[in-house]
Structures are given as C-alpha cells and as structure tokens.
Amino acid sequence: MNEEGGTGGRQVDQRLTILFVFALVAVAIVGVILIARNNGGGSSSTTSGCTEVEPPQPKHVSFKAPKQTVKKGEEVTAAVETSCGTFDIDLASRQAPKTVNSFVFLAEEGFYDGLDFHRIVPEFVIQGGDPLGNGTGGPGYTVVEKPPANLKYTKGVVAMAKGGPEPAGSSGSQFFVVTGASSTLPPEYALLGNVSEGIDVVERIGELETKPGTEEPKQTVLIEHIEIERG
C-alpha cells in the first residue's frame, strides 16, 4: 500500500507540474500577442482611426516646371494614401490642365511620398504637400493658371495653396481639401479637383486636435503615396 500510494503521489505531482508549465507558457504567449498588437511593429492605431507615425524631416527640393503631358479633358484620378486612410481626387484636367499636369508630375516623381498634412483648420480645410512642413516650402517652380471665375470652394473641393501677394491661380506643391460645408474664399486658388471617394478619411483628418494656438495637428498625418490613374 505504501509503495503504491507513493507512486500515485509522484504521478499527481508530475501532472500538476506539467499543468503549471503549460499555464506559464500560455500566459507568456498572450503577453507577446498583446505587446505585438500595441507596438504594431513601430506604429499603432489610435482612437482617431489614424496610425501613429513619426513626423517627417524637412527636405529641400528643386524641380524645373514640367512639360505638359496631361491632355485637356483627360480622365485622371489621384489616390492619396495617408496614415489615416485613402481618399481619391478626380483631377480637373478640363478646367485646370496646367495645374493638374504639375500635380501629376510631382506625384509620379514621388515628391509627395513621406510629406505630411501640416495644417488643419476645423470645418475649413486640411493642407499638405510642403517639403519643409511649415507652410513655406515648394517644388522649386510655380505654375499660374487662373481658376474659373465662378469657382466655389465647397466641401470636397481640392485646390492649390498660394502666398497672399502671389497672382491668382499661382501654385507650387501645397494643396488643400475643403472640409467645411461652404467657404467664403475668393476664386483665387487654382482648382485641382474634387474628392470622389474617401471623404470620411478627409473628415477624420480634419477632426484631429491641433496644438494650442496653432493650426498644426498634434498627431502627424503622413502622405504615404499618391498613385495616379489615367483613363
């Protein structure tokens, strides 16, 4: 009896030890999964629906104005991939062929890849495409194409930013998307197009918090890539 009882006790101890080891392994696996989800390989999603990314470094560029390759009236779409999602712009090649041509050239050169939306004004606009990231940068050249006199900057309209003293329709690389229902802007900003898909992404960016007293978003919003589709 004593020998049999002793053997049974050792078997129970061995089973308990195995179960304990399995429990430790399971806890470790769960911990690894949670860490991976939180880190996301260096980036993670937040309650804003945007991925946390590092702010880009300023870069100085200098291009020459491109030759005209976009035909007037040609169907051209720009898929703007950002850290908050993707939205599409139907480019206004009929009304603004020179402006569209410049934007397409820069996008296909990879100019916009890695730049950010440096300006957010709630219920008004989001603005990006500045290689310096502070609202003063550009591609090294300027295109001038006067916008239509009856142009209204309504929600979803995409236009090019310009400095105050520059002629109407001047543009470099910076563009803005109107996020408010209507705008009182005069028709001085070169038309680029209209958001055809992903207006919810534009709204998501437009709702991000800005740093106190500024129009700079607290969370970096990267333009990861702009894909141009013709026809």
Residue 201 belongs to a domain: yes
Residue 86 pLDDT greater than 80, yes or no: yes
**pLDDT score at 14:** 56
Average pLDDT, the chain: 86
Do 120 and 30 have their domain in common?
no
- In this predicted structure, which of 12-26, 46-60, 85-99, 111-125 has the lowest mean pLDDT? 12-26
Do 93 and 161 have their domain in common?
yes
**pLDDT score at 103:** 98
Query: What confidence category does residue 45 fall into, taking pLDDT thresholds of 50, 70 and 90?
Result: low
Query: What confidence category does residue 46 fall into, taking pLDDT thresholds of 50, 70 and 90?
Result: low
Residue 63 belongs to a domain: no
Query: What confidence category does residue 44 fall into, taking pLDDT thresholds of 50, 70 and 90?
Result: low
**pLDDT score at 48:** 82
Q: What is the pTM of this model?
A: 0.80
Residue 68 belongs to a domain: no
Residue with token string 């502070």:
134
Do 94 and 189 have their domain in common?
yes
**pLDDT score at 164:** 87
Residue 230 pLDDT greater than 50, yes or no: yes
- Which structural domain, as residue segments, surrounds residue 156? 76-230
> How many domains would you assign to the chain?
2
Do 114 and 30 have their domain in common?
no
Residue 32 structure tokens: 């690894």
Residue 47 belongs to a domain: no
DSSP for the chain, written as a single string: -HHHHHHHHHHHHHHHHHHHHHHHHHHHHHHHHHHHHHHGGG--B-TTS-B--PPPPP----PPPPP--SPTT--EEEEEEEBTEEEEEEE-TTT-HHHHHHHHHHHHTTTTTTEEEEEEETTTEEEE--TTSSS---SS--EE-PPPTT----TTEEEE---TTSPTTEESS-EEEE-SS-----TTS-EEEEEEE-HHHHHHHHTS-B-TTSS-BSS--EEEEEEEEE-
**pLDDT score at 36:** 40
Do 158 and 226 have their domain in common?
yes
Query: What confidence category does residue 13 fall into, taking pLDDT thresholds of 50, 70 and 90?
Result: low
**pLDDT score at 1:** 36
**pLDDT score at 183:** 82
Do 113 and 214 have their domain in common?
yes
Residue 5 pLDDT greater than 50, yes or no: no
Do 38 and 93 have their domain in common?
no
Query: Residues 151-177: what's their mean pLDDT?
Result: 96
- Model pLDDT for residues 22-36, shown as the tens digit of each residue: 445 444 443 433 334
Do 93 and 158 have their domain in common?
yes
Residue 144 belongs to a domain: yes
Residue 214 belongs to a domain: yes
Query: Residues 162-191: what's their mean pLDDT?
Result: 94
**pLDDT score at 55:** 97
139: CATH: 2.40.100.10
Residue 62 belongs to a domain: no
Q: Identify which of 179, 200, 210, 195 has the alpha carbon closest to the alpha carbon of residue 85.
A: 200
